[in-house]
A and B are shown apart, each in its own frame.
Chain A
């Protein structure tokens, strides 16, 4: 899956968690999930679970903790889908 496809799918996953859809319409990789999109921090675990199901990957707790922006989520997911992109 291409980076843009992962980004677009991530935006879809985020939609129900975002109070203001307009904020998501203008989102880029640096858009902060909590500060910019006002996602309730308690719901981050639900976003992780939905991402795991959508991309068929497993995101461990430390990786989940590192996700603050949409770009962070895309990076973690891309790394899971293609180990060469994330050798660590």
Chain B
């Protein structure tokens, strides 16, 4: 037994391709696109009028919360709460009642990239401008504080070890997993409810549309718009959702006979310092490679042992650079490069939730022995062409899959990398 070991024992997800883990996995396997046309974005004169948004979520929310409870929760908090309750039950744990004792050994780190712009735009700004502050009610703060989702989840589950939110742009969900691993390794918690969440809002997506980093020419064929590694990739498709994982120290999980999806063998987080070509919006390649190295070293894994990569791969100009960075970091020629895929090809980019949603996909792939297809890359980008055989375009049975590396990168030149390994009991 690894005294520093941290394992994944529960999964919960609300995503553009499924509002629970079973539906999410089926969509992953079949390469089902979750990107759709959003009429509101066209009315608002966005250039990009498509997004990946969880469908029929209201019906799911009704199963968990009364109308009144739901009415005071933001979409991001509701996504996280539903995913956390699913993950908790999936881990074989009982949902406690309101009067249960505090679970001092379990904490929550649930990050968000942008925060609840919808409440700010629809409630705070108009009401303050209309001089109606006294009519705003008591819920505004909990709705807009970045720790709102983790606070809600800690209340539902009675968690006492920690309740916080991290934020590192598009690296948030992956970074949250790393933070939780460190917390458990330090002996400060036995179990962590961890992940990321992001609500759907034109106000969140507007800044990206203004930057021209979203695809503009796929409004009439949304399912083909998210094209990581494609020669015709034209920007990332904005998305929304939540991914929650239950991480546990290996001893605690084994002692209670928990089902283990995978081990989080190594983690690393860093920042390129916006030097050597790095900037607020572009990575310092040295930082990316150091981050990948750091996670491998932490896991005690050799580059040659990495079977598969779940890339950040958003469908921007950065995809070929990312693939080159993986190749250089691993020190392998294209023929020896691991297999590589992108969850975002189906979900779009769920921003602060992306890394968590993609970590769930990674855990499912290792546990069930498969790799999901990366869709919309039939026309491989010329700079990725040498790696073409390694791009997973079709569902692939892979029972021998032992080691999967997952990375996320974000504005601010921030990087995070996780190394997952198969749990061999």
Q: Nearest-CB distance from A3 to chain B (Å)? A: 27
Please, which residues of chain A bring their CB within 8 A of the CB of B45? Answer: none
- Is B256 an interface residue when CB atoms closer than 8 A count as contact? no
- Is A21 an interface residue when CB atoms closer than 8 A count as contact? no
A45→B134 CA distance, assembly (Å): 8
Please, which residues of chain A bring their CB within 8 A of the CB of B68? Answer: 16
Please, which residues of chain A bring their CB within 8 A of the CB of B138? Answer: 42-46
A45→B141 CA distance, assembly (Å): 13
Taken residue by residue from 48 to 80, chain A's Cβ proximity to chain B (1 for < 8 Å, 0 otherwise) reads as 010000000000010000000000000000000
How many pairs of residues, A versus B, come closer than 8 Å at their CB atoms? 12
Please, which residues of chain A bring their CB within 8 A of the CB of B135? Answer: 49
- Contact (Cβ within 8 A) A46 B137: yes
A46→B140 CA distance, assembly (Å): 11
Q: Nearest-CB distance from A44 to chain B (Å)? A: 8
Of residues B68, B134, B137, which shows the largest number of chain A Cβ atoms within 10 Å of its Cβ?
A: B134
A61→B137 CA distance, assembly (Å): 13
User: Restricting to B118-156, which residues have a CB under 8 Å from any CB of A?
Assistant: 134-135, 137-139
Please, which residues of chain A bring their CB within 8 A of the CB of B137? Answer: 45-46, 49
Taken residue by residue from 204 to 215, chain B's Cβ proximity to chain A (1 for < 8 Å, 0 otherwise) reads as 000000000000
Please, which residues of chain B bring their CB within 8 A of the CB of A45? Answer: 137-138
Taken residue by residue from 68 to 83, chain B's Cβ proximity to chain A (1 for < 8 Å, 0 otherwise) reads as 1000000000000000
Please, which residues of chain A bring their CB within 8 A of the CB of B139? Answer: 46
* Nearest chain B residue, comparing its CB with the CB of A17: B68
Please, which residues of chain B bring their CB within 8 A of the CB of A16? Answer: 68
* Nearest chain A residue, comparing its CB with the CB of B139: A46
Please, which residues of chain B bring their CB within 8 A of the CB of A42? Answer: 138
Which residues of A does B touch, CB under 8 Å?
Answer: 16, 42-46, 49, 61
List 5 A-B pairs, minimum CB-CB distance, nearest first: A45-B138, A42-B138, A46-B137, A16-B68, A46-B138
Excluding A43-B138, A45-B138, A46-B139, 9 further A-B contacts by CB distance (< 8 Å) are: A16-B68, A42-B138, A44-B138, A45-B137, A46-B137, A46-B138, A49-B135, A49-B137, A61-B134
A sample of 12 inter-chain contacts (CB < 8 A) reads A16-B68, A42-B138, A43-B138, A44-B138, A45-B137, A45-B138, A46-B137, A46-B138, A46-B139, A49-B135, A49-B137, A61-B134
